[in-house]
Amino acid sequence: MKRKELAREIASLILILFILIVANFIFTRVLVRVDLTRNKIYSLSNASRKAVSRLDDIMIVKVYMSEKLPPTLMPIKERVSDLLEEYRAYSHGNLRIEFIDPAKNPKIEQEVRSLGIPAVEMNILEKDRLQVVKGYLGMAIFYLDKHEVIPVIQSTDDLEYQITSRILKLTENRSRVVGFLVKGGNHDLYGDYETVRKRVEQEFKLVEIDSTIPDTLDVLVVAGISKLDTATLYRIDQYIMHGGKAILLVDGVDVNGLRAVGVPENKLDLVSYGVKISQNLVLDVSNELAPFSSGVMRFIVPYPFWVKVRNFDRENPIVSKLNSLVLPWTSGLEIKEDSSAQYTVKILAKSTKQSWEQKNFFVLSPDFIKVPEKNRLTQFNLVALVRGRVPSTFGNTPPEGFDSTRHVSLSDSTLLLVVGNSRFLQNPFAGSFKENLVFFMNALDYMSFGNELIDVRTKVLTERPIAQLSDAARTLIRLVNIVFVPLVVVIFGLVRYSIRRKRRR
C-alpha cells in the first residue's frame, strides 16, 4: 500500500511539473495580463496596440542600458523589458528588441553617443564602497531609414507615451507643426514659457510666430492677445475662420504681483466664436497652496485665486481622465447663445458651485480674502471648446489693406480651445502642477492626432483629490471617528464580557 501511495504521489508531482512546463511554454508566447489599476497603467492602451500592429516592416528597438545598475534603477530595467514585450506581442513579429550594454564595446559606445544618448553618472555600492560610475539608460527606435531616440529613461511613468509617439512619428510621413504666438503679448517663449517649449519640442516641430501665420501649422497657440496689433489679430481671425485649430489663452485681467487691472477689450474678443472672456477673477474654495512672504517670514496658505479645477466634461478626451487642473488668477467664460450659429460650444471645465468673483476692484492679498455668504456663491465656466464654422470677429469688412475676398468662413473644421488664463502654462505653474502640462499636451494631441495618444498620456496621473465636503458632512465624520468608533469597541467588549460570564456560570 505504501508503495502504491508513493507511486501516486510521484505521478501527481510529475503531472503537476509537466502542466507547469506546458503552461510556461504557452504563456511565453501568448500575452495574458490582468491589470486592476484604475487607468490600466501596467498594460498597453488601444492606441499603442494599433500603432505597433500597423507596422508593415521590421522595427528594431535597441535599449542601451548598463548591466550594473543601482538598486533604485533596477525596477526601471524590469519595467522597460515588460513593456517592450507587450509591444512585441502585438506587432505580429515586426518588432525586434535588443538590450545592449555599450560599455562592453567601444565601437558601440561611440555609436550610442552619435545617436545623442549620453553617459550618465550613477552611484553603485559594491564591496562596501560607494562608487560613481558612468552608465547608459537610453533607447533608440529604428524603422526603415529613420530613427527616434529617448536619450535618458529617468522614469517609466510616461514611457509608453514616449515610445508610442515616436512609433507614430516614424510611421508617418511628416512632422506635426505647432505655432506659438507670445511675442506680441506680455510673455516670452524662451523665458516665461521655457518649460512648455521644451516639452512641446520633444514631440512636435515648434515654430515661433511673429505676425504671419504659415499654412503648414497643425495647431496655433496664442498666449495673451491684449497687446497684439490689429493686423496680427486679423491674421489669427482668418486662420480660425478657414478651418484652423487654435488654443487661445486669453486673460480677462492683467495681474502684476498683488495688483490687478481689467484688460481692455480688443477686436478679437471672441464673441463671434460664441465665447466672451469676463473681466473678472474667479475664486474657489477648491484651490491650491500659494507661497507668500512678509518681511523675513515666508508662509504657505490656501489661495482661492489659484483655482483647483475638478469638474470636467468626462466625455471629452482632452479632460476625461484629468483629476485636477490649477488655473491661477483665471477669468470666467460667458457663453453666447445663438440659435442660427453654425458652430457648437462645449464647456470642458468649471469651477465648483462654491465659487465667487471679483470685478472692477481687485484685492489679491490672502489676508483680506473671505468666503462670501452662500447666496453669493455660484459656478463659473473656465474652459470651452468651439467646433464648426465661425464668423469673423471683425464683422463684415476686413481692416484696411487686407483682401476682402478671403473675408469669408470657408470651413466647418474649425476647432478652438479657449481658456480665460495664460499663466497656468508659465514656468512656476507648469513645473509645479504636472496636470497643467498634461492638459495642454492633451489638447495638442487632440487637435493634431485626434484621440489616439490622449489615453496613453493620461495613464500617468495618480492624484486622487478628496471631494469637497460641506461643514455638516465634516462634522458628522468627525463625530463618527471620535464617538461612534470607540463606542462600538466598548459595546463589543461589554457583550463579550457578558457572554464569558454566562459561560462561567
Tens digits of pLDDT across the chain (505 residues) = 567 777 788 888 888 888 888 877 666 555 556 665 655 666 788 888 988 999 989 999 999 998 888 888 888 888 899 899 999 999 999 999 999 999 888 899 999 989 989 988 877 666 666 677 788 999 999 998 889 899 888 878 778 888 988 898 888 777 789 999 986 555 678 888 999 999 898 888 899 988 788 888 999 999 877 777 888 888 888 888 888 899 999 888 988 888 888 876 655 567 788 899 999 999 999 999 999 887 778 889 999 999 999 999 988 888 887 889 999 999 999 998 777 788 899 999 999 999 999 998 899 999 889 889 988 999 999 999 999 888 888 877 777 777 666 666 567 888 999 999 999 999 889 988 989 998 999 899 888 877 666 667 656 555 555 566 667 777 888 888 888 888 888 898 888 888 888 888 7
Q: What ranges make up the beta strands (E) of 37-176?
A: 59-65, 95-100, 120-126, 129-135, 137-143, 146-150
Residue 483 lies in a domain: yes
Residue 37 lies in a domain: no
pLDDT of residue 407: 61
pTM of the model: 0.72
| Nearest-5° Cα angle at 213, 210 to 219 | 110
Q: Which domain holds residue 407?
A: 174-460
CA distance 100 to 108: 9
State whether 386 and 257 are in the same domain: yes
State whether 312 and 399 are in the same domain: yes
Q: How many domains does the chain have?
A: 4
Beta pairing, strands 287-294 & 297-309: antiparallel
State whether 140 and 274 are in the same domain: no
State whether 183 and 149 are in the same domain: no
State whether 184 and 138 are in the same domain: no
Return the closest-CA partner of residue 138 out of 118, 156, 157, 121. 118
> What is the DSSP code string of 346-372?
EEEEE--SSEEEEESS----GGG----
pLDDT of residue 246: 94
State whether 161 and 183 are in the same domain: no
pLDDT of residue 29: 56
CA distance 402 to 394: 12
State whether 455 and 473 are in the same domain: no
3-class DSSP assignment, residue 67: coil
Torsion, CA 50, CA 53, CA 56, CA 58, rounded to 10: 120
> Rounded to a whole number, what is the distance in angstroms from the first to the last CA of the chain?
52
Of 460, 480, 497, the domain-final residue:
460
- Nearest-10 crossing angle of helices 74-89, 159-171: 40
CA distance 220 to 222: 7
pLDDT of residue 346: 94
Of 118, 144, 168, the domain-final residue:
168
State whether 367 and 493 are in the same domain: no
pLDDT of residue 401: 72
